[in-house]
Amino acid sequence: MDYFYAACEELRKPEIIGKPVIVGADPKSGKGRGVVMTCNYEARKYGIHSAMPISIAYRTKPDAIFLPMDYAYYEETSGKVMQVLKNFADDFEQVSIDEAYLDISSKADSFEGAAAYAKKIKDAVKEKVGLNCSIGVSFNKLLAKMASDAAKPNGIKVVEEDKVHAFLDSMPVRKLYSVGEKTGERLAAMGYGTIGKLSKANKMELIAEFGSIGLELHNYANGIDESRLMQAALAKSIGREMTFETDTYNRDDIESGLRKLSEEVAKETVKGGFAFSIVTVKLRYGDFSEKLKSKSIKPSSDVKEIYETAVKLYLDNAEKNRKLRKIGVRVSGLIQYGKQRRLG
């Protein structure tokens, strides 16, 4: 989906269409903590983008329309979109709230036919939900995904078998799926600044540097991806995090934060019908250094177990003279004992 959260807001507030719209943290007149979740293309004209600190977005365009996240509404809208998409697919994999893979092998016998079919899907999403999406069409998931990125906004991009290198080679290596900031820097230092250069790299050199990921990088750079669509899987962990308005080492503030987070996590695990056997606490200090501390326990579904384990992990491991910026609570080792309900 194109700029999904901001597009959802435009859908229910047509009067904001055409103005810069930013969904994310409360800017608090430039003092707010947090980031831009997404923004529409009018806001992007000013250089605003996802993950940008909200304070900078505010400084850049103080008269933009700033809106808080409304997950429940976005989930509901996402559900409608996914329902439309499923009806067009032989096989279907939802990847996130606003992305999905569709296997349409039986629906077209050429890429030309597939492109026409993609247009039908786009039109149906627009007609039934009212939102624009972008579609990548290719012969594997990697290339379909990268083509859909290239198709944004509101486009369709096809990558045929004999056009893989024409499509990938000139892109900076950072655009390759699975290459983030760190791997991008290491690849650049090795002389692989573009996907084309990476595609010709020596496999063994990449394996020596990155282990099994090195082989994956080489395959991806050559457009090779044999992964299949995955069936919806049960959650592996459930967590909640919060950033303090100002950094703190006050024990009462931190413990009440852990209590609130534990309660939310417990509510979510009960909703999913899960017990858990591992509790993890995240501690982020003012300098952004982060520690995760975890403890295995007897399987439980009790909020008290989460809270008491979380507080113990905090007390045993936090450096009490350093202020904390963020805390988090997560449970894993999930065992489903009850009926699954949809997780939000």
Binding site for DNA (CB under 7 A): 25, 33-35, 37, 50-51, 53, 55-56, 95-99, 145, 177-184, 211-213, 235-243, 264, 268, 277-278, 288, 290-296, 317, 325-326, 328, 330, 332-333, 343
Residue whose CB is less far from DNA, 63 or 288 = 288
CA separation (Å) from 54 to 44, 50, 67, 98, 303?
Answer: 14, 10, 11, 22, 33
Active-site positions read 99
CB burial of 182-206 (b: ≥16 within 10 Å; e: otherwise) equals: ebbeebeebebebbbbbbebeeeeb
16 touches 9 (CB < 8 A): yes
Q: How far is the CB of 145 from DNA (least distance, A)?
A: 6
CB of 119 to DNA, least distance (A): 23
**Can you read off the two tokens belonging to residue 175?**
């655009």
* 121 and 102 Cβ atoms separated by less than 8 Å: yes
Of the pair 107, 222, the CB lying nearest DNA is at 222
Which of residues 83 and 246 has its CB atom nearest to DNA in the complex?
246
Least CB distance from residue 111 to DNA, whole Å? 22
Residue with Cβ nearer DNA (233 or 339):
233
C-beta closer to DNA: residue 110 or 339: 339
CB of 331 vs DNA, minimal distance in Å? 9
**Residue whose CB is less far from DNA, 115 or 215:** 215
**Which residues are CB-neighbours of 104 under 8 A, at least 6 positions away?**
88, 89, 90, 114, 117
Q: Dig out the tokens for 221 from the structure.
A: 């750079």
Cis peptide before 153 (omega within 30 of 0): yes
Q: CB 37 → DNA: shortest distance, Å?
A: 5
Rounded Cα distance between 9 and 99, Å, is: 18
Quickly list DSSP for 276-328.
EEEEEEEEEETT--EEEEEEEEEEE--HHHHHHHHHHHHHHH--TTS-EEEEE
End-to-end Cα separation, the chain, in angstroms: 19
Give the residue carrying structure tokens 């077209």: 108
Cβ 160 to DNA shortest distance, Å? 22
Name the token pair of 342. 């949809």
Number of H helices, E strands in the chain: 13, 12
Q: How far is the CB of 80 from DNA (least distance, A)?
A: 17
Token reading at 271: 């909703």
Q: Which is nearer to DNA, 50 or 154 (CB)?
A: 50
Q: Helix 71-86 crosses helix 4-12 at what angle (to 10 degrees)?
A: 100
Q: Which amino acid is at 73?
A: Y
